[in-house]
Amino acid sequence: YLIKDNHHGSEHLLDFSVQSDETVLGLVGREKENLPQDGYLKRLLSGDLDLSVRKEALDWIWKAHAYFDFGPCSLCLSVNYLDRFLSVYELPRGKSWSMQLLAVACLSIAAKMEEIKVPPCVDLQFAFEAKDIQRMELLVLSTLRWKMQASTPFSFLDYFLRKITCDQVIVKSSILRS
Amino acid sequence: MAMAAPGQLNVNESPSWGSRSVDCFEKLEQIGEGTYGQVYMAREIKTGEIVALKKIRMDNEREGFPITAIREIKILKKLHHENVINLKEIVTSPDGNKYKGGIYMVFEYMDHDLTGLADRPGMRFTVPQIKLLTGLHYCHVNQVLHRDIKGVLLLMPSKDTCSNLLIDNEGNLKLADFGLARSFSNEHNANLTNRVITLWYRPPELLLGTTRYGPAVDMWSVGCIFAELLHGKPIFPGKDEPEQLNKIFELCGAPDEVNWPGVSKTPWYNQFKPTRPMKRRLREVFRHFDRHALELLEKMLTLDPAQKGQDKLWICTCCLCRFFLVGNMSRSNLQANTATLAGICIFHNSLKHSIWLPSADSSHIILYAL
């Protein structure tokens, strides 16, 4: 039998958002799988990969993200996709549009993963045609082997918040007791 | 019974997952159309295994890679349960440019959907119903609302509304078609879209424009299907949204601030509110049902989603599991054979912290403490 201690009483029976310690351990394990390849940072710092181009791409993602009023989770995911993609795929040199296209595709996929209202990807920007964005999305999805559910700080937030608030409850009750 | 913790991962993914070509499979025949693409029966050349290939339709370039496909992949990678369809891998077709070609989702092959099977005389609903609930329960435990559970019985009007409950020849049932599914958290502060679920099985809160909803929406659908099984035909076959609401009000009574506090604040209430008083006639219309079945139905078809409250939702699920496990059930003795439910109802309180689920071979049930 699977027995869990239920502190919260019956009214919280369907409160699935309580993450167990094992779930969080699992998330920590998966976090490693969904990070850029080793050596990515070194390549950025050594100039093998152009840091300023990456910065430009992130700036664009940041602005578009704010413009469409997306949530914080999709921002984290977009950046995760971008870095993971750059760490395994060589974009053609000297073609700055390819980086812009990549940024659009990453934001578009992240929005589809997390957002409620998702504009058609072509409306995210003005530079590219729909079919090019769609192809780039496919390239990103398959290059990242369809592993789009990366851990972000938000995956852990709930767990830690609950730990903190639980502790407060305990503190209160022990104050009462004393 | 696999009771995965929320967010459990697929640990069995092979290193080649997501990188193979559709050429690894030989297409045998087209077997249907899903929400957004054709489905083929195919054989994996290396192993000879029969699978279903679902081609992702990408007609709408403006949208890019379809959001329904992204959501379905996201959710299926999260769910691993014997009653939820298993996504084996994703393959690409290499014709011409690799990334211009098709994308296919590879599923385990299932022999039937429920639409076809339900026409058979003497069809036994026991196993499928239980399985539906265990699959659904598992989805809820993993914070996924299916949002598109479709009817299983008669008169499904066109091909694209066919059932998304699949059965293999051993009688195993799986929930499929997660294109409309999404994750939820219990905080209910997330706004969700209200245009989900096939019209006939859509609960009143969605028809009234609510964008904050929870597991109660799936429970309404199960209630509709439950009644359909006993009644022999769909109970709310509305043509459009106003007619759908009207059919619901005719049977379940008109909502007001007494039986559904807050209903007048739902977005489309003024537009759709009933023009004349209507009484709840559920007990009268379904008086031929077994009284325990009726009790259950009363709970599942409660207008106010908050009153299908969390405890009650669990009790419904528990009772329904038990209900369908009693005896050998053709439709006629389904109604006659439910006396044991009375016993179950006495245990309501003890059921609060536990759930009955059938064993893997459905020969007995196990009480899971929560």
B5 vs A23: CB contact, 8 Å cut-off? Answer: yes
- Mean pLDDT, to the nearest integer, of A122-126? 84
Burial of B63 (0-12, 13-18, 19+ CB in 10 A): buried
Q: Convert the pLDDT of each residue in B12-37 to its tens digit.
A: 566 677 778 888 999 988 876 655 56
Are the C-beta atoms of B147 and B175 separated by less than 8 Å? no
Q: Convert the pLDDT of each residue in B46-56 to its tens digit.
A: 999 988 888 88
Maximum average pLDDT range among B1-15, B99-113, B119-133, B242-256: B242-256
* Chain B 3-62, residues with CB within 8 Å of chain A CB atoms: 3, 5-9, 17-19, 58, 60-62
> Which ranges of B20-63 would DSSP assign to H, the alpha helix?
none
- Determine the 3-state secondary structure of B235 from DSSP: coil
B6 vs A19: CB contact, 8 Å cut-off? Answer: yes
Q: Convert the pLDDT of each residue in A127-145 to its tens digit.
A: 899 989 999 999 999 899 8
pLDDT at A112: 92
Domain residue spans of chain B:
20-108, 112-369
Active site (catalytic) residues of B: 148
- Mean pLDDT, to the nearest integer, of A64-69? 92
- Mean pLDDT, to the nearest integer, of B193-210? 75
- Mean pLDDT, to the nearest integer, of B204-212? 86
Could you say which of A10, A26, A108 has the minimum Cβ distance to residue B64?
A: A108
Are the C-beta atoms of B132 and B167 separated by less than 8 Å? no
Are the C-beta atoms of B289 and B251 separated by less than 8 Å? no
Top-confidence residue, A34 or B222 = A34
Residue B346 has pLDDT above 50, yes or no: no
| B343 inside 8 A of chain A by CB | no
Within 8 A of B186 by CB-CB distance, chain A residues are 14-17
**ipTM given for this complex:** 0.72
Q: Convert the pLDDT of each residue in B220-233 to its tens digit.
A: 876 776 676 667 67
B103 vs A138: CB contact, 8 Å cut-off? Answer: yes
- Tell me whether the CATH fold assigned to B20-108 matches the one assigned to B112-369: no
Q: Convert the pLDDT of each residue in B268-293 to its tens digit.
A: 999 988 888 899 999 999 887 766 66
pLDDT at B247: 93
- Average model confidence (pLDDT) across chain B: 63
In whole angstroms, what is the distance from residue B357 CA to residue B370 CA?
Answer: 12
Sequence-separated (6 or more) residues with CB below 8 Å from residue B327: B333, B337
Does the B20-108 domain belong in CATH 3.30.200.20?
yes
Q: B308: annotated binding-site residue? A: no
pLDDT at A172: 40
CATH class given for the domain over B112-369: mainly alpha
Within 8 A of A10 by CB-CB distance, chain B residues are 310-311, 352-353
A112 vs B71: CB contact, 8 Å cut-off? Answer: yes
A116 vs B18: CB contact, 8 Å cut-off? Answer: no
pTM: 0.58
Burial of B262 (0-12, 13-18, 19+ CB in 10 A): middle
Best B16, B21, B62 member to test A by mutation, with max A CBs in 10 Å, is B62
Best A118, A129, A132, A138 member to test B by mutation, with max B CBs in 10 Å, is A138
Top-confidence residue, B151 or B229 = B229
Question: Would you place residue B144 in the very low, low, confident or very high pLDDT band (cuts 50, 70, 90)?
Answer: low
| B70 inside 8 A of chain A by CB | yes
Question: Would you place residue B358 in the very low, low, confident or very high pLDDT band (cuts 50, 70, 90)?
Answer: very low
Residue B337 has pLDDT above 70, yes or no: no
